[in-house]
Amino acid sequence: MRNTYNNGGNTYGGAMADVNHTDVVRERILQRLIYAEYMPGHTFKLREMVEDPEFQGMSQTPIREALLQLVAMDILVGQRGFSVRVPIPSVENLAEVRAIRTRLEIMAATNALQEWNPAAIEALERIHAELLVAKAAGDVNRILRTNVQFHFSLYGEQRRSYLMTMIRTLWAITGPSIRFLYEEGRPLAIDGRHPHDDVIEALRTQDGELLGKAIAEGVSGTGQKILQVLREKVSPEALAVQPFRKMELLRTRAKQGRRIRQQE
């Protein structure tokens, strides 16, 4: 299958001694955020993470350092008591991040447009077919994973580019919020033709304008529904407790790290 997204899990299996553990933990947390495996407001607890099979063989130190790095990147937030959480975004902040992500996704997909051939398009169609099967079965985790695989397949061979780094970061910020649409376990309904069908048609016909329009429609359609849920369900009190905000100066970050260590 072409360019499916898989930077965590077994990718690092057996190679723990040869890599930086903090980097491994950070990438695995990023993958979980991208796959919407954490809800907004989720609190990371070091003892629980050490016992998680995903972080088997890790001590608290690289996990703590990875969390603090993600706070410094404005993907996670440090809270009162110096715990680390997935932020609950405001409507304004989430709308801004999703808009930026849309533009960068269109740029990446357009850059890779000429790479597509019939075999690669067939592989992408299989991913979309798997997504539809997951929707029919009501398998939320599978829906979210295959949707990520579909989108990341569009970016071609730009794996280590600055553009891809930015896109992954924006996915990690926006990913958890899609869980608001599945709180009752029901798949998100799509009215009319699925935007993925237009994406596939654009790749087949090498139509860059249609490709950009289809990506924008797909991201915008889901995004508007998420923003509506935020307006209706997320209280001002919750947003006040967990705002999007930049980490304080380096000295404050160091103090947070020391307090986390003291809580162990």
pLDDT reported for residue 236 = 56
Q: Please give the CATH topology (third level) of the domain spanning 91-233.
A: Four Helix Bundle (Hemerythrin (Met), subunit A) (1.20.120)
Q: Is the dihedral of CA 65, 173, 243, 41 positive or negative?
A: negative
Q: For the chain (length 264 residues), average pLDDT per consecutive 10?
A: 42 51 95 95 92 89 94 88 85 91 95 95 97 91 94 83 93 93 65 87 97 91 82 60 41 49 51
Q: In this structure, is the dihedral angle defined by the CA atoms of residues 74, 79, 84 and 85, taken in order, positive or negative?
A: negative
User: Is there a shared CATH topology between the 9-88+245-263 domain and the 91-233 domain?
Assistant: no
| pLDDT value, residue 218 | 86
Sequence letter at residue 195: P
| CA-based nearest residue to 29, from 49, 13, 2 | 49
Number of neighbours of residue 140 by Cβ within 10 angstroms: 20
* Cα–Cα dist 121/98, whole Å: 26
Q: Specify the pLDDT at position 248.
A: 42
User: In a 3-state reduction of DSSP, which class is residue 89?
Assistant: coil
SS3 15: coil
pTM for this prediction: 0.79
pLDDT of residue 156: 82
CATH number of the domain located at residue range(s) 9-88+245-263 in this protein: 1.10.10.10
The structural domains of the chain, with segments of one domain joined by +, span 9-88+245-263, 91-233
